Structure 1
Amino acid sequence: MKIYGDRNSGNCLKVKWVCDYLALPYTWIDIDIMKGESRTADFLALNPWGQVPMVVLDDGRALAQSGAIIRYLARDSDLIPRDAFAAGKMDEWLFWEQYSHEPYVAVCRYQLVYLGKDVSELDPDKVRRGYLALDRMERRLRGAQFHVEGFSLADVALLAYTRLAHQGGFDLGRYPAVRRWISDAEKCLDLPPAS
């Protein structure tokens, strides 16, 4: 399997982490989105969205979108709860991450890290909504070690950008439960603490 991705992208790291956790063999192919490498004719032939991550399976089939990829890779593993309702709650968090967390926390990080903007240039509404997402996680994690029963894909997906939220200008100092969860999730994935 080949993973086409950017090692600075949380969405791409989700795929890498799932492969590493499950000991799935892969070849990583660096794609520099800032140089337009995801917009070449060859790339677009495999992935018409022109986005990373993308995996190309050994049989040549391509799959894009981080949530779809990690859901596919983790099928029949302990990263997806066996109980149908718990699996549904995991999916609930996966969808929430893409629609209510990533568009704010990750986008602010993108603007600071990739585009070199100053914190003062961030859209105040994106910052406000990023904090609302972190507030929601804090409330959930005050009473639970992980987002659903046991470590799951929900935690992998949410960890990717939450552990780097400070790079998007967010102050994690006010979120003790989130910080504890970050540490626990990093240990599950055998990751060094985020810098």
Structure 2
Amino acid sequence: MQIYGDINSGNCLKVKWVCDKLALTYDWIDIDTRKGETRTPQFLKMNGAGQVPTVELDDGRTLAQSNAIIRYLARGSTLIPHDAFTAAKMDEWLFWEQYSHEPYIAVCRFQLVYLGKDVSELDPEKVKRGYAALDRMEQHLAASRFLAGDLISLADVSLLAYTRVAHEGGFDLGRYADVRRWIGEAEAYLGLAPAR
């Protein structure tokens, strides 16, 4: 299996973390999105959306969209709850992550870290919605150890990717004790060094 990804992308790291946790064999092919490497004819043939991560399976089939990829790779593992309703709650968080979390937390981080913008230049609406996402996570994690039940699932892997570096996007994690507790537990489970 080949993973085409950008090591600076949380969406790509999710795929790497799942593979590493499940001891799946893969080759990482580093793609520089800022140099247009996802827009080459060869890449677009694999993924017409021109996005990373993209996975090419051993049989030549390709799969895109980080949460679809990790859902496929983790089938049959403990990262997907066996109970159908709990698995659906996991999926609920996966969909929410791409619609209500990543577009705000990750975009603010990209603008500060990679575009060199100042915090004062961030879109106030993106900041507001990023904090709303963190507020929702804090409220949920105050009552539940993990996002979908008592065990770590793909929901936790997916949300960890950008939440653990939300401070790089100008978000103050100091007021989120339960989110910080969860970050530490999820990082330890995945064998990750704590985010700085």
**TM-score, length basis structure 1:** 0.99
Q: Which moved more, 1:111-120 or 1:39-48?
A: 111-120
- For the residues of structure 1 that align with 2:36 and 2:57, how far apart are their CA atoms? 23
- For the residues of structure 2 that align with 1:3 and 1:113, how far apart are their CA atoms? 24
Count of residue pairs the alignment pairs up? 195
**Is 1:72 aligned to 2:102, yes or no?**
no
- Corresponding residue for residue 151 of structure 1: 152
Amino acid at match of 2:178: A
- For the residues of structure 2 that align with 1:61 and 1:136, how far apart are their CA atoms? 37
- Corresponding residue for residue 162 of structure 2: 161
Alpha-carbon shift at residue 118 of structure 1 (Å): 0.9
Tell me the SS of whatever aligns to 1:23: coil
Alpha-carbon shift at residue 148 of structure 1 (Å): 1.1
- Corresponding residue for residue 185 of structure 2: 184
Structure 1 unaligned spans of 5+: none
- Corresponding residue for residue 38 of structure 1: 38
- For the residues of structure 2 that align with 1:49 and 1:114, how far apart are their CA atoms? 22
Give CA-to-partner distance per residue, 1:94-142, whole Å, 9 cap, x none. Answer: 0000000001001101111121111111000000000000000000001
Amino acid at match of 1:179: R
Where do residues 5-16 of structure 1 align in structure 2 (5 Å cutoff)? 5-16=5-16
Identity of aligned residues (%): 74
- Corresponding residue for residue 122 of structure 1: 122
After TM superposition, the runs of 4+ consecutive aligned structure 1 residues lying more than 6 A away are: none
- For the residues of structure 2 that align with 1:39 and 1:164, how far apart are their CA atoms? 27
**TM-score, length basis structure 2:** 0.99
Tell me the SS of whatever aligns to 2:28: strand
- For the residues of structure 1 that align with 2:62 and 2:113, how far apart are their CA atoms? 29
- Corresponding residue for residue 92 of structure 1: 92
- For the residues of structure 2 that align with 1:153 and 1:39, how far apart are their CA atoms? 29
- For the residues of structure 2 that align with 1:30 and 1:62, how far apart are their CA atoms? 16
- For the residues of structure 2 that align with 1:72 and 1:115, how far apart are their CA atoms? 33
- Corresponding residue for residue 139 of structure 1: 139
- For the residues of structure 2 that align with 1:191 and 1:107, how far apart are their CA atoms? 23
- For the residues of structure 1 that align with 2:36 and 2:165, how far apart are their CA atoms? 24
- For the residues of structure 2 that align with 1:118 and 1:23, how far apart are their CA atoms? 40
- For the residues of structure 1 that align with 2:61 and 2:115, how far apart are their CA atoms? 33
Alpha-carbon shift at residue 185 of structure 1 (Å): 0.2
